[in-house]
Amino acid sequence: MITFEGVSKRYPDGTVAVDHLDLEIPAGRITVLVGPSGCGKTTTLRMINRMVDATDGTITVDGRNVRDVDPPTLRRGIGYVIQQAGLFPHRTIVDNIATVPLLLGRNKKEARTHALELMERVGLDAALAKRYPVQLSGGQQQRVGVARALAADPPILLMDEPFSAVDPVVRTGLQDEFLRLQDEVEKTIVFVTHDIDEAVKLGHRIAVFQVGGKLAQYASPDELLAAPANAFVRDFLGGDKGIRRLRFTQELEAEDDASGQTADTVADKAADR
């Protein structure tokens, strides 16, 4: 579990990026931070691995204050995926994925073997292993970024708008693959997006931030769509929130049909998410 208690981030010019945040992120689930530009969602994400240090308050990971952990040590236990993947252009795909295992002391053969296994897991053809990032499509590069973040088998995965730079069709495919992968690995995932449809599709819990770094609502997708906490959340969801809620329920029903479960589980799954 990741816990924020009274966390704020203020910059020297007086800008408040995050304002007195209290938030509990459950283990083994996908928590989505969503909101308009400048609302503090990326700052919140980056405070978890201390790429940004909080001004006030306490952030704990499994009960341990992140300030008590050396930043490089902390980051080795946390995967990080960013927009446009951030791959090393001079390294092959297999060596991009093997980067962290090599830093952790694995020999090159073991690291590359593990990287090839991860390529298969994220849906990449092994024939791409010796190519360079520039030779891959945007969607393929994002899959490499996810594989690289998983390479050290971290319990926590931070994802900062990882699918926003690809076209809508590719984005949908990446979202579906991401959900399939999470069913296998069950990581604690914190996912930042500005897209409410993406948040509803992916999140077990959704934290809606408003400008000024304030948490407006923290709820399951079904709760969020059924009962927005205030006018800001209602406006952010837009006038078609009823359609989103119907789509969300239909997706849960499709999951039940695919797994052979009965329709009676839909309400339970919605509440759980």
Q: How far apart are CA 209 and CA 40, in angstroms?
A: 7
pLDDT for 102 = 87
Q: What are the phi and psi torsion angles at 192 (to 5°)?
A: -100, 135
- Tell me the mean pLDDT per 10 residues along the chain, length 273: 97 94 96 94 96 96 94 90 83 93 87 92 92 92 90 92 85 91 93 94 96 95 93 85 50 56 47 53
AA identity, residue 181? L
- Of the candidates 45, 130, 113, the one whose C-alpha atom is nearest the C-alpha of residue 79 is 45
- Of the candidates 62, 66, 78, the one whose C-alpha atom is nearest the C-alpha of residue 154 is 78
Query: What are the sequence ranges of the domains in the chain?
Result: 2-77+155-221+230-239, 89-154
Q: How far apart are CA 262 and CA 250, in angstroms?
A: 13
148: tokens are 């690289």
- CATH (residue range 2-77+155-221+230-239): 3.40.50.300
Q: Strands (DSSP E) along 83-175, which ranges?
A: 156-160
Q: Which of the 8 DSSP states describes residue 164?
A: T
For 61, the enclosing helix (H) or strand (E) is strand 56-61
Q: How far apart are CA 53 and CA 183, in angstroms?
A: 32
Q: How far is CA 68 from CA 54, 98, 187, in A?
A: 13, 28, 23
Which of helix, strand or coil describes residue 4?
strand
> Taking the model in full, what pTM does it have?
0.84
- Pair 130, 109: CB distance under 8 Å: no
Q: How far apart are CA 151 and CA 115, in angstroms?
A: 7
Question: pLDDT tens across 131-176, in order?
Answer: 999 999 988 998 999 999 998 889 999 999 988 878 888 889 989 9
* Burial label, 227 (beta-carbon count in 10 A; 0-12, 13-18, 19+): exposed
AA identity, residue 192? V
- Pair 58, 5: CB distance under 8 Å: yes
Q: How far apart are CA 86 and CA 247, in angstroms?
A: 33
pLDDT for 235 = 93
